[in-house]
Amino acid sequence: MAYKKTKKVKRQVDSVIAHVKSSFNNTLVTITTMDGDVLLSGSAGRLGFKGSRKGTPFAASQISTNLARDMATMGVKNVEVNLQGPGAGRDSVVRSLQASGLNVTVLRDVTPLPHNGCRAPKKRRV
């Protein structure tokens, strides 16, 4: 029995949110709608970077230029950026999104900060 393959619908979106999680080892960028539905995602490992090169600003800018190219086909013009984490790729993602012709409307830092939450481990005795 042959199954009919449904045609994938291209979403036409005007504004999106770019969630950037930047650690010391990697940078993850997820593009969602304003409601939170994931449209695109990218990481340094997916582009072929390995090891310590995944955490570099160059890898982060390559991720965002790839995603910006895909967003252009969806008709995206405005981007809100949520930055999370202490990594080196935070700023370069925003710069390359602006360089690719997208309008960055909001920059938000959503890094979780503990309000003296968990108890710290005991001091190391050497």
- Plot region of 75 (φ>0 → left; ψ -120 to 50 → alpha; else → beta): left
The pLDDT value recorded for residue 1 is: 63
What the block records as the tokens of 77 is 């013009």
Residue 71 lies in a domain: yes
Residue 75 lies in a domain: yes
**Domain interval for residue 93:** 15-109
First-residue to last-residue Cα distance in the chain:
70
- What is the CATH number for 47? 3.30.420.80
Sites in the chain below the pLDDT cut of 70: 1
Residue 4 lies in a domain: no
Quote the pTM value. Answer: 0.85
The pLDDT value recorded for residue 26 is: 95
Structural domain tally of the chain?
Answer: 1
Residue 7 lies in a domain: no
Among 43, 13, 7, smallest CA distance to 28 is for 43
Per the listing, tokens 């202490």 go with 86
- Plot region of 108 (φ>0 → left; ψ -120 to 50 → alpha; else → beta): beta
